[in-house]
A and B are shown apart, each in its own frame.
Chain A
Amino acid sequence: MYGMCTDMTTNPSELEQIKLASQFLRGTIITSLADPLTGAVSDADAGLLKFHGGYLQDNRDLREERRQQKLEPAHAFMLRARLPGGVVTPVQWLEFDRLAREYADGSLRITSRQTLQWHGILKGQLKSTIAAIHHALATTIAACGDVVRTVVCTTNPIESATHGLVYEWAERLSKHLTPHTRAYHEIWLDGEKRVGEVESEPLYGANYLPRKFKIGLAIPPLNDIDVLSQDMGLIAIIECGRLAGFNVAIGGGMGVTQHDASTYPRLANVIGFVGVDEVLALAEVMVGVHRDWGERADRRHARLKYTIDRRGLQVFQDEVERRLGHALAPERPYYFERNSDRYGWIEGHEGFWHLTLSIESGRLADHEDGRILSGLRALARVHHGDFRLTCNQNVIVAKVAGKDRAGIDSIVRDYGLDGYRKQSGIRRHAMACVALPTCGLAMAESERYLPVLLSSLEQLLDRYGLIDTPILLRVSGCPNGCSRPYLAEIALVGRGPGRYDLRLGGDFQGQRLNRLYRQNIDEQAILDALEPLFARYVLVRGETEKFGDFLVHAGIIGLEPGPTTVQGSVV
């Protein structure tokens, strides 16, 4: 299906049947969990397990070795939390940290959608881990699968009061759109089977959605969530300090299938404005149209973006408005300044301070250069505010009282968490997906390769005096684009071991898709392609022109016309 994809061995329409036959996502998960002969679950159950927040994986570094050892692959599970708006309390943090060390591979991973992942959980411990997460007042339900995923939200804007409101909407949307099935309780939480009660999924139906649905709330001028990459983006419109409502953007999506030109990344179209009182209704309508109109025979074309392009935007919008009961109001003005995080201390509302730390690839682990996991644990022990995960795979120590700042700083220093102070312009904004050794879809290294790539790029940039210039680099292990590479100024999209497509020309606001510059090349060729561009950039850029904008202005990258590839004003 996806060429080298080893994620699903069943063909698409089979998955629809599996969902339908699963009795609201139960399948034979309990039986599979109890099977002592294998550390895996059945193929069908692996598909259903995603809806519960779990991915069956294996350590791909060991695959061939174990095959020769006559052992099955080193199976383990990835669990993803559902954390609306990426908020984690210190109590929750300590519990998540403990689970990482006790059940997972000793690390936590901040994802590009501001939630946490645990890797390496053995089948026999899946239930304990999920139960513990539940008892920490969090969940993993619908963190993956054909459902509305984690609802993301801009973190840490300057007006914290309004942020609080927008965050509440993120939470409300998340709750409203969570599947109703009791399967989750029965399987993981020893919930009783309710005999005689007819189960239903009023919104999702028995076979759920054709594909995932990503919702994100952005608070201008910050676009850290890349709102135009969401299936449904809500751009908060704040007037006179009041949250009036949201501009609605639909049809964003990053994923591409290798060698299939009928698949492509797409920016969401802003189609209008909705008041706060209608946000939930609109979301239901949107999910409903995706459910009813989405392609179910061919998963490659099942994302909302293809439905919109297939039917036509106007037709789609008409249907949305028909179901809503009225036309959407016209969109209101907004602008985005940046989609990157602002590092260091920022003063917020009510005298609180927020510290944004730069975590490379979002990986919280202890190693020689920094005891990142231990450092966060130490912070959690003393912190009275909360932690906010960002869609740039970073973490914010939020709501710190002025008097506590020094204590936080001291821990940050002691554990080597202060990388943000000295990182180069390209390092601080870089993002990478997990890829190897755990992701079954990866074609090339991503997270493990990023440090090497950054060193090479930094050497190059330094030569041209660009070491402190912010440049947006994103690396993906495969074209699915979990690190949102199609929006980056420089992107590497994995094609095979050690080989990437080089894409250039995105912007720093998340409003312009980049373009393919070189196809399927190795690191040396990537550096060779970039060097002359850096050389020209230095000469021409003036004080503030961004690298991506320079490429467009200089005609090195040709813009494709249309709102689904470029939006906002090109500076």
Chain B
Amino acid sequence: MQRGHDQGIRLHLVRADTYPLRNLAKERYLIIIISTHGEGEPPDDARGLVEWLSGKRAPRLPNLHFAVLGLGDSSYPKFCAVGRRLDGCLEKQGATRLIDLGEADVAIEEVAKPWTEQVLGKVVEALPCVAPTLRLMPPRTPEPTPSWSRKQPFIASVLTNQRIVARDSEREIRHLELSLQGSGLHYHPGDALGVCPANPAALVEQWLGTLQLEGTQPVTFAKRTLSLREWLSYERDITKPYRSWIEAHAERGHHETLNQLLQADQQGAFADLLERDQPIDLLRRYPVEWSAEQLIATLRPLQPRMYSIASSQQEVGDEVHLTVAVVSYTRDGIPHWGAASSFLAAAREGAQVSVFIEPNERFRLPSDSARDVIMIGPGTGVAPFRGFLQERQHRGGSGRNWLVFGNHHFNRDFLYQSEWQAAIKSGVLQRIDLAFSRDTSARVHVQQRLLEQGRDLFTWLCAGAHLYVCGDAKHMAADVHQALIEIVANQGGQQPDEAQAWLTDLMRQGRYVRDVY
């Protein structure tokens, strides 16, 4: 946006679900930046746009010049699928491509920066009447942005780091409270906190040991010189496997099995590998020589991790609370860790953590406090709803609150149990439904509870309630969505596809929102 303004171009930034689709036929220049999720799915707020543009109702667009920048993760088979799809649709409707589709990988800037320059250049070329001498539209004054950001995170100190599962829980989940004092940062419940982690020291040693490299060795990359250990600790992602590194690794060695897995017909097996293994496992299983320079050059930068914020500033003021599931397990007798979660788990009181706020404008409480709210948040997905309840308690209002929570064991990992009990007792929370999957052989999950309460759920929704889902993307979100379709179909006397449309419309209205990961 800033680049565009600098060049005197009047740009309107709109979110896909707030854009009136009928205006598209009148547009002359359209830039679309869109991500792809899961199995080639668009983000929820763009579903409407994508379906409409791909469907029969898409208008002819002979006057439109467009460019699409897709965001994705090349480790997944349907890389930038949505971007490609839109690019193709627009072309099909007769629009003119300004520049080719851009496909940005996890390190977004690498592709996005040059692409942005290029597309803006084309726009300036194509708009002869927009000369730098023309009156510049003053840029809409943006909201006062804090000076902290992803590039310049705020250094917050840890106030509390408390385990919130019982001692006999097989997993470790922790509640962290960080101080934002002096930062001027503000957030809303539903927003995320970006955390810039350091990799676990033991893991860094495992890399150095397996590759037989010296940690003190200085390595220069992109004009920065750090020790190899520092690069691996702070600057490189060494816990999440991804395709391009695996390809590079395979190229260096000659491991048949690994090469096999990279073939196009092995997507399922490759997906399994991505889920199961960390890069360290591959280093061990397929030993290969890496020089320090090549390693640093090939590995991608350590990305910040996002955590749904578990508090409301109405309640906690200058603090921000998180609910963190610590990823750590033993495989083949060797301990494994997640980067950010073990970093946070080990953070003592007073430790410093680099953070920034990532607003999530769609995942907000309704501004009308008379609206009912239904929150589905199993596991750590319950985090933002803790903030929601805190906020609703302070705001008052007649809107009712309904929480659906699930986890493994009632006795061990009923996250924030004493707080929910207090909320029920005080009346802030009107309803709570629980599903503990490993307490009985029946393996109950949240979607079963939804189905059991289908009638009330539908009544609440018809009366204007907002529905929120937060948590695991892979299975839970889909299962919950299926349950919702079933509920709407049964209660509303509709066919499944009508129910699906009803829900999509709810999404479009912003009354069915998801924060899934």
A interface residues (Cβ-Cβ under 8 A, vs B): 36-39, 62, 65-72, 74, 122, 124
Contact = CB atoms under 8 A, between A and B. Distances in A.
A69 B165 contact: yes
- In the A-B complex, the 3 residue pairs with the closest CB atoms: A71-B417, A70-B418, A69-B164
B419 interface: yes
B266 interface: no
B421 A69 contact: no
Nearest to B410: A39
B245 interface: no
Contacts of A36: 410, 434
A71 B432 contact: no
A68 B177 CA distance: 14
* Interface size range of chain B in the complex: 20 to 34
Interface in B394-416: 410-411, 414-416
B426 to A, nearest CB: 14
A498 B165 CA distance: 30
B244 interface: no
Q: Which of B162, B165, B410, B419 is most buried by chain A, counting CB atoms within 10 A of its CB? A: B410
Nearest to A69: B164
A72 B166 contact: no
A72 B167 contact: no
A70 B175 contact: yes
Contacts of A69: 162-166
9 contacts: A36-B410, A38-B421, A39-B411, A68-B162, A69-B164, A70-B162, A70-B415, A71-B417, A72-B421
Contacts of A74: 166, 411
A36 B411 CA distance: 11
B425 to A, nearest CB: 10
B416 A65 contact: no
Contacts of B421: 37-38, 72
Contact of A72 (B164, B415, B417, B432): B417
B259 to A, nearest CB: 48
B411 A70 contact: no
B460 interface: no
A70 B434 contact: no
Contacts of A66: 166
A74 B165 CA distance: 12
Contacts of B343: none
B424 interface: yes
A72 B164 CA distance: 11
A74 B414 CA distance: 12
Contact of B416 (A37, A62, A68, A70): A70
A322 to B, nearest CB: 52
Contact of B417 (A62, A65, A68, A70): A70
A122 to B, nearest CB: 8
A74 B432 CA distance: 20
Interface string B337-366: 000000000000000000000000000000
Given A36-B434, A37-B424, A70-B175, 16 more contacts: A37-B434, A38-B421, A39-B410, A62-B166, A62-B167, A68-B162, A69-B164, A69-B166, A70-B162, A70-B416, A71-B164, A71-B166, A71-B414, A71-B417, A71-B418, A72-B421
Contacts of B290: none
Nearest to A38: B421
Contacts of B420: 37
B431 to A, nearest CB: 11
Contact of B419 (A62, A65, A70, A124): A70
Nearest to A40: B421
Nearest to B414: A71
A124 B434 CA distance: 14
Nearest to A122: B411
A125 to B, nearest CB: 11
B424 A67 contact: no
A65 B418 contact: no
Contacts of A39: 410-411
A67 B418 CA distance: 8
Nearest to B175: A70
A69 B412 CA distance: 10
Interface string B108-140: 000000000000000000000000000000000
B418 A72 contact: yes
Contacts of B162: 68-70
A201 to B, nearest CB: 34
A70 B162 CA distance: 9
A67 B415 CA distance: 12
A124 B444 CA distance: 15
A65 B424 CA distance: 23
A528 B415 CA distance: 49
Nearest to A73: B418
Contacts of A70: 162, 164, 175, 415-419
Contacts of A68: 162
Contacts of B165: 69, 71
B439 to A, nearest CB: 8
Nearest to A71: B417
A68 B416 CA distance: 10
Contacts of B414: 71
Contacts of B164: 69-71
A41 to B, nearest CB: 14
A106 B143 CA distance: 62
A69 B415 CA distance: 9
A124 B410 CA distance: 11
A19 B127 CA distance: 87
A266 to B, nearest CB: 42
Interface string B253-279: 000000000000000000000000000
Q: Which of A38, A68, A69 is most buried by chain B, counting CB atoms within 10 A of its CB? A: A69
A70 B423 CA distance: 13
A101 to B, nearest CB: 18
B194 to A, nearest CB: 25
A36 B431 CA distance: 12
A38 B417 CA distance: 9
A70 to B, nearest CB: 5
B385 to A, nearest CB: 14
Contacts of A124: 439
A39 B419 CA distance: 15
Contacts of A71: 164-166, 414, 417-418
A69 B323 CA distance: 12
Contacts of B163: 69
Contacts of B439: 124
A74 B175 CA distance: 20
A72 B421 CA distance: 9
Nearest to B163: A69
A560 B359 CA distance: 79
A119 to B, nearest CB: 15
Interface string B417-447: 1111100100000001010000100000000
B424 to A, nearest CB: 6
Interface in B165-189: 165-167, 175
A70 B410 CA distance: 13
A37 B418 contact: no
A65 B434 CA distance: 23
A454 B434 CA distance: 48
Nearest to B439: A124
A95 B14 CA distance: 70
B315 to A, nearest CB: 15
Contacts of A37: 420-421, 424, 432, 434
A68 B167 CA distance: 12
B401 to A, nearest CB: 15
Contacts of B416: 70
Contacts of A122: 411
Nearest to B432: A37
Contacts of B432: 37
A68 B432 CA distance: 22
B386 to A, nearest CB: 10
Contacts of B410: 36, 39
Contacts of A65: 167
A65 B169 CA distance: 13
Interface string B271-292: 0000000000000000000000
